[in-house]
Amino acid sequence: MNLKSLQIKIILIFSLPALALLYFSYSLVNENYIKYKNSTSYAFSAKQTKILSKLIHNLQLERGLSAGYLVSKDEIIRKNLEKQYIHTDSAYQDLIHFSNAYQYFKKQFHSITAVRRKVLTTQISFWDEMQYYNSLNKELLQAITALMHDLESKSYNGKALIELQKLKEYLGQERAYVYNQILAPKKNEKYIHYIHLLQEKEKKLQTVFYICASKNTQNIFKQLIQKETVQKTAALRTMFFQDKLSSKEDAKIWFQTASQYITQLYNVSSHILNTIVTEALQTQKDIKQVFTYTIILWILSFISFFFFLYYINALIKKEDKLLAKIRIASHTFDSHEAIVITDKNGVVLEVNKSFTRITGYKADEIIGQTTKILKSGKHTKEFYADMWHQLLTSGQWKGDIYNKRKNGEIINFIAQFYDISDLRNAQEEAQYQANHDFLTGLMNRKALLQRLHEENAKAIRHNFIHAFLFIDLDNFKQVNDTYGHHVGDELLIQVSHRLRSVLREEDILARISGDEFTIILVNIADSKEAAKEYAQKKCQAIIKALSATFVIEGNEIHIGASIGIKIFPDEKHNIEDIMNDADKAMYVAKKNGKNSCALYDEA
C-alpha cells in the first residue's frame, strides 16, 4: 500500500472522532450560550422590575397620604407626606440611573411637582389626585408586565409576579379611598361603591395569583404575609362599612394596617425578584465554567491531534526508510553471489537463487536444515567455533571456507557472513503490526478474515464443524464517557485476557473494532446440533467471565456481552456471509435484553 495513502487514511479515521467531539462541544457551547443570554436577560429584567416596584410602592404611599391630607389638612399627615416625597424622588432617580429606557417617563413625572403643590395647598380634588397617581402607576405596571411576561426561572414565573403587582396596586387604591372617607366629614357613595369594586378585583387577583404561582412562590407568600395583618385588615373593612370608623385615630389605624399588608406584598415580590437574580447569576457562573472547560478541551484536543499527526508522520517516515532498506536488501539478496540467511543456531531461514545454483540444493531442501549439511570436512571444530563466536559477538565474519555441494563435490568459498537480525526483526515487527490489534495484541480484522478463509476451507475439506462468535460489549460507551478513554482501553485489554482464559489453545480470538471481538471455535463437534449446544455453553462461559466486576484505577466497572453464533461451513461457503450472519444474531441478542447469546436461524 502507498504510504501516503495510508497516512491519509489514518488521519481521516482519527479525524472523525475529533470532528464529532468538535460538533458536540459546539452544540454544548451554543446551547449554553442561549442559556447565558436568557439568564442575563432574566437578571436584568428582575433588577429593573425591582426598581420599578420600589417606585410604585413609594407612589402608592404618596397617593394614600395625599388622599388623607386633602380631606383633613392634618399637619402630621403633611409632615409624613413631605418625607414621603423625598423617598419617592430617590426611587425615581434609581430608575433613571439604572436604564435610559425610561427617559420618556421624565416628562410625566416632572408634572408631579405641580400636583404635590396643589395637594399641599388643597387646590386639587381628591378624585383628580387619585387619577393622576393611578395613571402613573398604571404606566409603570405596564412596564413590569412587559418585563415579566416571558420570564421563567427554575422556581418562579413572571405571570404570578404581574398578578401580585396588580393586587398590591388595588390594595393601595383601597387604602387611599378608605383613608379619605374615614377622615371626610361625610361619606361619598360613589367612592364607597368604588371601594366595593376594588375589593372584588382583589379577590379575583388573589385567586389568579394562586393559580399562576409555583409552589415556591406560594410558600414565600405564606411565610411573609402575616395572618394577623390580613385578619385585622378584614376586620377594619367590616367596621368601615358599618360606619364604625370615623376618628383620626381610626384613620391612622386603618392606614398603618393596610400599609403593613401592602408592605408584606412588596416584600414577597422583592424576595422572589432577588431569588431570580441570584439563580441567574449562578447559572451564568456555571455556564462560564462550562465555557472554560470546553475551551481547555478544545485546546488539548488540537494539541493532541497535532501531536498525533506528528507521531504518525514520524512512524511512516521510519517505515518508509525501513522499506527502502528492505528493497535494497532484496536487490542485494538476488545478486550473483550466493547468500544464505540463518538464525543464531545455524538453521537456514532463506537462500537466494545463486546459492541454489552453486550448491545444488533447492530452497525447500535447505531451508530448515543447519549449515552442517554443507560441511566439507576440511575444517576443524575450532575453525567453526571461532567463526560463530565472531558472528555472535561482532555481527560479521570474513574468511576462506570449503563447503560441499549436494552431489558431494567440494567447492571453495570466499565467504562474508553478516548478522541481519535487526533487519529481520524489523520485517517481522512490521508484519505483526499489520495483522494485530495495537491495544490488545489480538488478531485484527485483516488477519481474522485470512484465518476464517483458511478454517472454512479446511472445514469443507475435512468435514469439520466450526462456530463463529460475534461479541459486542454492552455498556462500553458509558464506561468511556464516565471514566475516560484510558480506562476504556485498559478494560478492553482485561476483556481480551478473560476471553482467552475460557478458550482452548486452538480457538482463534480477534478484536475487529472498538468494542467488538470475534472467536472461531475450531472443530467442536461431529454434528451441527452438538456444535450448537457446545457453542451456546461456551457463550454462557464468556458472559459469566465478562459479567464479573472489573476493577480499574479503583473503579468497579460492570459490563456485559451480546453474542451472535453462526455454525459453519454451510452451503454459502462465503466468509463475509459467516460474519454477517453472526452479526445479525448478535443484534437479536441485544434486542432480547443484552448480556445474552443468540444462534443465527438459517431458516
pLDDT in tens, 46-75: 888 999 999 999 999 999 999 999 999 999
210 and 254 together in one domain: yes
Answer whether residue 309 shows pLDDT above 70: no
| Count of helix runs (H) and strand runs (E) in the chain | 19, 11
pLDDT in tens, 471-493: 999 999 999 999 999 999 999 99
Residue type, 467: A
Strand pairing class (348-351; 396-404): unpaired
CA dihedral 590, 591, 597, 599 (to 10 degrees): -130
Q: Please tell me the distance from the alpha carbon of residue 175 to that of residue 169, in angstroms, as a whole number.
A: 10
473 and 593 together in one domain: yes
Closest CA to 472 of 576, 589, 580, 578: 589
Percentage of the chain beyond pLDDT 90 is 55
157 and 290 together in one domain: yes
CATH number of the CATH domain containing 478? 3.30.70.270
CA distances from 580 to 81, 508, 515, 584, 586 (A): 90, 18, 17, 6, 10
Residues near 434 by Cβ (< 8 Å), separated by ≥ 6? 446
pLDDT of residue 325: 55
Lowest mean per-residue pLDDT among 32-46, 81-95, 396-410: 396-410
What value does the mean pLDDT take over residues 453-478? 95
Point out the domain boundary residue: 365, 390, 420: 420
Answer whether residue 376 shows pLDDT above 90: no
401 and 439 together in one domain: no
**What is residue 332's three-state secondary structure?**
helix
Strand pairing class (597-599; 396-404): unpaired
Is 230 among the domain residues? Answer: yes
545 and 583 together in one domain: yes
414 and 441 together in one domain: no
Lowest mean per-residue pLDDT among 7-21, 357-371, 441-455, 479-493: 7-21
Point out the domain boundary residue: 420, 454, 481: 420
pLDDT of residue 416: 55
Answer whether residue 340 shows pLDDT above 70: yes
Answer whether residue 32 shows pLDDT above 70: yes
352 and 461 together in one domain: no
Write out the three cell numbers for 562: 451480546
| Confidence band, pLDDT 50/70/90 cuts, at residue 290 | confident
Q: How far is CA 599 from the centre of its chain?
A: 36
Q: Please tell me the distance from the alpha carbon of residue 84 to that of residue 113, in angstroms, as a whole number.
A: 13
Is 508 among the domain residues? Answer: yes
What value does the mean pLDDT take over residues 37-45? 81
Is 510 among the domain residues? Answer: yes
Is 304 among the domain residues? Answer: no
* String of DSSP letters for 377-446: S-S-HHHHHHHHHHHHHHSEEEEEEEEE-TTS-EEEEEEEEE--HHHHHHHHHHHHHHHB-TTT--B-HH
Cβ pair 557, 580 in contact under 8 A? no
Is 273 among the domain residues? Answer: yes
Write out the three cell numbers for 517: 471481538
Strand pairing class (560-568; 597-599): parallel
pLDDT in tens, 427-450: 677 788 889 999 999 999 999 999
What value does the mean pLDDT take over residues 271-300? 83
Write out the three cell numbers for 120: 399641599
What phi, psi does 520 have (nearest 5°)? -105, 110
Q: Please tell me the distance from the alpha carbon of residue 178 to that of residue 241, in angstroms, as a whole number.
A: 10
Mean pLDDT over all residues of the chain?
86
Q: Please tell me the distance from the alpha carbon of residue 183 to that of residue 486, in angstroms, as a whole number.
A: 83
Answer whether residue 318 shows pLDDT above 60: yes
| Confidence band, pLDDT 50/70/90 cuts, at residue 364 | confident
Helix axes 421-435, 248-333, angle to 10 degrees: 130
411 and 460 together in one domain: no
State pTM to two decimals: 0.51
Point out the domain boundary residue: 392, 420, 448: 420
88 and 184 together in one domain: yes
Radius of gyration of the chain from Cα atoms?
Answer: 47
35 and 119 together in one domain: yes
Is 534 among the domain residues? Answer: yes
Q: Please tell me the distance from the alpha carbon of residue 166 to that of residue 212, in angstroms, as a whole number.
A: 14
Answer whether residue 603 shows pLDDT above 50: no
Maximal CA-CA distance, the chain: 152
Lowest mean per-residue pLDDT among 103-107, 223-227, 479-483, 598-602: 103-107
**Ramachandran class of 377: left when φ > 0, alpha when ψ lies in -120 to 50, beta otherwise:** left
Is 195 among the domain residues? Answer: yes
Q: Which domain holds residue 275?
A: 3-295
| Confidence band, pLDDT 50/70/90 cuts, at residue 97 | confident
**What is residue 276's three-state secondary structure?**
helix
What value does the mean pLDDT take over residues 496-522? 96
Residues near 151 by Cβ (< 8 Å), separated by ≥ 6? 42, 45, 46, 157, 158, 161, 276
* String of DSSP letters for 281-315: HHHHHHHHHHHHHHHHHHHHHHHHHHHHHHHHHHH
Answer whether residue 424 shows pLDDT above 70: no
Helix axes 158-183, 189-212, angle to 10 degrees: 160
β partners of residue 561: 473
How many domains are there within the chain?
3
Is 506 among the domain residues? Answer: yes
Percentage of the chain beyond pLDDT 70 is 84
Residue type, 447: A
* String of DSSP letters for 204-246: HHHHHHHHHS-HHHHHHHHHHS-HHHHHHHHHHHHHHHTT---
250 and 365 together in one domain: no
CATH number of the CATH domain containing 392? 3.30.450.20
139 and 221 together in one domain: yes
Closest CA to 596 of 565, 546, 561, 572: 561
